[in-house]
DNA sequence: GTGAAAGCGCTAACAG
DNA sequence: CTGTTAGCGCTTTCAC
C-alpha cells in the first residue's frame, strides 16, 4: 500500500505538504503542488480512510436510514437514496446504508463509533422514538419528513398539506363539489406518519374552507381493497365526482375499478393523485398529479447536512411547495 | 468521547485487555471479562471505527454497488439490498452504498482507501468493464450475476437457464406445443446482461430438446409495447398457447392485452413468469412463476464474502435452483 | 492470564 | 511557503 510518506519522498517534500495539497488548507506554490499531484498520480496514492478519520475526526461518511416497511412505495425510496448518494459524492462523502429495523441502536452505533459524521433518516413518524436520540447524538442530522415536535431538529419534505390543498383546489376550480380522499393504508395512520396525516388535514381543512362535501377513506394497497372501496364509494356517495388519491400502488387499480363500474374517467369522475411523476405518466389515462420530488428532497437533505457539518446555520424546516401537473384524469364534472 | 484507556482505567486493567475482551482473541479470566464488560456498559464505550480500521486493517464495512438503470425492476433491487444489509449486520459489518454510475473508479476508490474490506456488485454484464478491476483489487468480491468469463471471480445468482427450462417444461407437461418467450427490453440484451441471455438460451435449448414451436420476443417495459407485441403474436403465431414472460413490469399488462383480444387466461393461453413472488401473487389471475430469490441471493452473497474474508475457499459459482410455483395462469391448452 | 509499548497512516499545531 | 512532530484510538506483538 502506498502511503503519504511514499508520496512525500517521491515528490521531495514533507508528508504535511502532501496532506495540505490534498486538503487545500494552506497555500502551496504552484510548482510544488504540481509535483505532488504528479507523484500522487504516478504512485496511485489513496489516503487511508481510517487513518484520515482518526487524525481529523471526520470520516466523510453519512448514514442513511431507509424504511423498508409496508405501506411505503419502494421506487420512491430508491430515488431518494440515489439522490442522497449522488449528492453526497459531489461533496466527497460516501453513504452508509442502515435499515429502519436497526432503529435507535443502529444510529447510536454508527454515530458513537465515529463511523459516520452525520445522519439522514427517512419515514419520520409524528412521535418518532429516534427523535430524542438524534437530538442528543452530538452529530448533525436531517429528517426527511416532519415529526410533531421538531424542536432542535432539521427537517425537509414536500409540503403535503399544501399538496392536498392543491389537489382539492384543482378539483374545486373544475367545479367539483363532492369529493373523497383515498388515503394510505390504515397502518400508516396508526403509526402516525406525518406526511399521511398532513395530507388528510390539508384535505379536510381545504374542503371545509371551500365548502365541499368531503370524505376520507384510508385504503390497503391491494387491488381487492381498491375494488372494495370503489364499491363502497359508489354506494355511499352517489354524488361523488372528484377523488384525490394518496396511495401510489392503487391509483391505477382504483381508476380501473371505477371504469369497470361504468364510470368514465374523467367524464364522470375526476382523479388527482399525489405520487411520483412516472406513476402518473404511466397510468392509463395519465393522472393529474402533485409530484413527490424525491430527487430534490434527497439532494437538499444532503446540502443541509453539509451546511451543518460546516458549522453554518441552516433552516430548521424546509417545506417544498407542491407542483400540480394537469393530465388526462381530471376535467369538469358532467352537467346534471 | 470515551476511549479504550478510559474503560481500562475504570476496570483496573490495561487497554490491551479491554481490546482482547472485545475481540476474544485471547482468553481472559471470567472475572476480568465481567469487570471490563461492566465498565464498557457503564461508560457507554464504542470503539472508534477509524482507529480500529487503522490498527487492524479491517474496516468491517462492505461496499454494495447497485444498478439504477432502466430495465431493472427496482423492488427486486431493494430486496437484495435489504438482505445484504441485514446479513452483513449479523456478521458485524456495515454496508456502504455505491451507485453503478460510480463504476470502476468508485470501486477502486473505496477499496484502495481501505474504506471497505470487500465488495458486492450487482447487475453484472457478460463483458463487464469492472471485472479486470475486481480481479486486481486485492480485496474479496462477490458478483450477483454471471459474466461470460468468471475466472478468478466468485459469482452467485438464480440459475436463469434452468428457470427458463422449468417454465417451458411446465408448459410442455401441460401439453403446450407452440410457445413464446416475452423477454426483457432490447437494451438489456444489447448490453449483454447475463441473466437475460441465459433465459433466452435456456428457453431456446429446451424448446429444441422438447421439439416445441418457439419464438423469442424482447419487449420494452411499457403497456403500449406489450399491447403491440400481443397484436403481433396473435397475428404471427395463431397456434400459440403458452407464453413465458421474463419482464416483470409488463407481465400483467400482457395478460390484460390477451384478454382484451378475447383470449382467456389460462383457457386459451397459459402464462408463466420469471418474477418475484409478490408480483406473481398480486397479478390477476395470479401467475404461475419461477421466483427470483432476492433475499437468498443477497444473504448468500454476504456469506460468501465473509468466508473469503476469513480466508476460506468458497465455491466460485453458486447457481440457485429455480422453484416453480403453479398458480392460476397456466393450464392444459384447450382441445382443438 | 495480563501488561507495556510500538506502531497503523494521517492531520494539524507549532516552528521557521 | 514548507518542514517537524505530536498525537488521533486502537490492535498486537513481545514480555512476563
Q: Tell me whether strands A213-217 and A242-245 are parallel, antiparallel or unpaired.
A: unpaired
Banded model confidence at residue A75, pLDDT cuts 50, 70, 90: confident
CATH number of B4-52: 1.10.260.40
Mean pLDDT of A251-272: 94
Q: B289: closest CA among B280, B301, B299?
A: B280
CA of A327: how far to CAs of A76, A226, B289, in Å? 21, 22, 35
Phi-psi region of B211 (alpha: psi -120 to 50; beta: other; left: phi over 0): left
Q: What are phi and psi of A56, to 5 degrees?
A: -105, -5
Asked if B192 reaches chain A (Cβ–Cβ under 8 Å), the answer is no
Lowest mean per-residue pLDDT among A6-10, A306-310, B163-167, B223-227: B223-227
Identify the residue whose Cα has the smallest distance to the C1' of C13.
A16
What is the structure's pLDDT at A191?
85
More confident residue, B191 or A295: A295
In the CATH hierarchy, which top-level class contains the domain A160-292? alpha beta
Q: What angle do CA A13, A16, A17 make, to 5 degrees?
A: 50
Encode burial over B7-42: b for 16+ CB neighbours within 10 A, e otherwise. Answer: bbebbebeeebbbbbbeeeeebeeebbebbeebbee
**Chain B positions in Cβ-Cβ contact with residue A89 (cut-off 8 Å):** 102
How far, in whole angstroms, is CA A258 from its chain's centroid? Answer: 30
Instruction: CATH number for A61-158+294-320: choose from 3.30.2420.10, 3.40.50.2300, 3.40.800.10, 1.10.3720.10.
Output: 3.40.50.2300
pLDDT value at residue B75? 80
Q: Count the residues in chain B.
A: 336
Of the CA atoms within 13 Å of residue A153, those in its CB half-sphere come to 25
> How far separated are the first and last CA of chain B, in Å rounded?
80
On whether any CB of chain B is under 8 Å from the CB of A109, the answer is yes
Which residue in chain A has the smallest CA separation from B100?
A: A82
Contact B114 A48 (CB under 8 A): yes
Distances (CA, A) of A278 to A72, A144, A165, A221, A226: 16, 21, 22, 18, 21
The model's pTM is 0.92
Q: What is the mean pLDDT of residues A18-39?
A: 95
In the predicted model, is pLDDT for residue A71 greater than 80?
no
Q: How far apart are CA A96 and CA A65, in angstroms?
A: 8
> How large is the greatest C-alpha to C-alpha distance in chain A, in angstroms?
88
B326 touches strand D (CB under 7 A): no
The C-alpha atoms of residue A153 and residue B46 are separated, in whole angstroms, by 25
User: Are the Cβ atoms of B78 and A82 closer than 8 angstroms?
Assistant: no
Q: Give ranges for CATH 3.40.50.2300 in chain B.
A: 61-158+294-320, 160-292
Supply B291's cell numbers: 421466483
Q: Is the pLDDT of residue A70 over 70?
A: no
Q: What is the pLDDT of residues A315-324, one digit of tens each?
A: 999 999 999 9
Any B CB within 8 A of A82 CB: yes
Chain B CB contacts of A47 under 8 Å are 113
Looking at the DSSP bridge assignments, the partners of residue B64 are B97, B120
* Low-confidence residues in chain B, pLDDT < 50: none
Measured from Cα to the C1' atom, the residue closest to C11 is A55
Protein residue closest to C5, using CA and C1': B16
Amino acid at each position: 500500500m502506498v502511503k503519504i510518506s511514499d508520496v512525500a519522498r517521491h515528490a521531495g517534500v514533507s508528508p504535511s505538504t502532501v496532506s495540505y495539497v490534498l486538503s487545500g488548507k494552506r497555500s502551496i506554490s504552484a510548482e510544488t503542488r504540481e509535483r505532488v499531484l504528479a507523484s500522487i498520480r504516478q504512485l496511485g496514492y489513496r489516503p487511508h480512510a481510517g487513518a484520515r478519520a482518526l487524525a481529523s475526526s471526520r470520516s466523510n461518511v453519512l448514514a442513511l436510514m431507509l424504511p423498508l416497511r409496508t405501506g411505503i412505495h419502494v421506487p420512491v425510496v430508491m430515488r431518494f437514496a440515489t439522490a442522497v448518494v449522488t449528492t453526497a459524492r459531489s461533496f466527497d462523502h460516501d453513504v452508509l446504508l442502515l435499515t429502519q429495523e436497526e432503529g435507535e441502536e443502529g444510529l447510536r452505533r454508527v454515530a458513537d463509533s465515529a463511523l459516520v459524521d452525520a445522519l439522514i433518516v427517512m419515514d419520520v413518524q409524528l412521535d418518532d422514538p429516534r427523535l430524542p436520540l438524534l437530538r442528543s447524538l452530538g452529530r448533525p442530522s436531517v429528517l426527511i419528513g416532519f415529526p410533531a415536535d421538531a424542536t432542535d431538529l432539521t427537517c425537509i419534505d414536500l409540503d403535503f398539506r399544501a399538496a392536498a390543498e392543491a389537489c382539492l383546489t384543482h378539483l374545486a376550480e373544475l367545479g367539483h363539489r363532492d369529493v373523497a380522499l383515498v388515503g394510505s393504508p390504515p397502518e400508516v395512520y396508526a403509526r402516525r406518519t406525518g406526511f399521511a396525516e398532513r395530507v388528510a388535514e390539508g384535505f379536510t381543512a381545504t374542503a371545509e374552507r371551500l365548502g365541499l362535501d368531503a370524505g376520507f377513506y384510508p385504503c390497503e394497497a391491494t387491488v381487492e381493497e381498491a375494488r372494495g372501496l370503489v364499491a363502497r364509494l359508489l354506494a355511499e356517495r352517489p354524488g361523488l365526482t372528484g377523488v384525490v388519491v394518496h396511495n401510489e400502488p392503487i391509483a391505477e387499480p382504483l381508476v380501473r375499478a371505477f371504469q369497470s363500474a361504468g364510470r368514465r374517467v374523467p367524464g364522470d369522475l375526476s382523479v388527482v393523485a399525489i405520487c411520483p411523476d412516472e406513476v402518473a405518466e404511466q397510468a392509463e389515462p395519465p393522472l393529474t398529479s402533485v409530484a413527490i420530488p424525491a430527487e430534490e428532497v434527497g439532494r437538499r437533505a444532503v446540502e443541509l447536512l453539509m451546511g451543518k457539518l460546516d458549522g453554518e446555520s441552516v433552516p430548521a424546516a424546509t417545506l417544498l411547495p407542491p407542483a400540480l401537473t394537469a393530465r388526462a384524469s381530471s376535467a369538469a364534472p358532467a352537467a346534471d
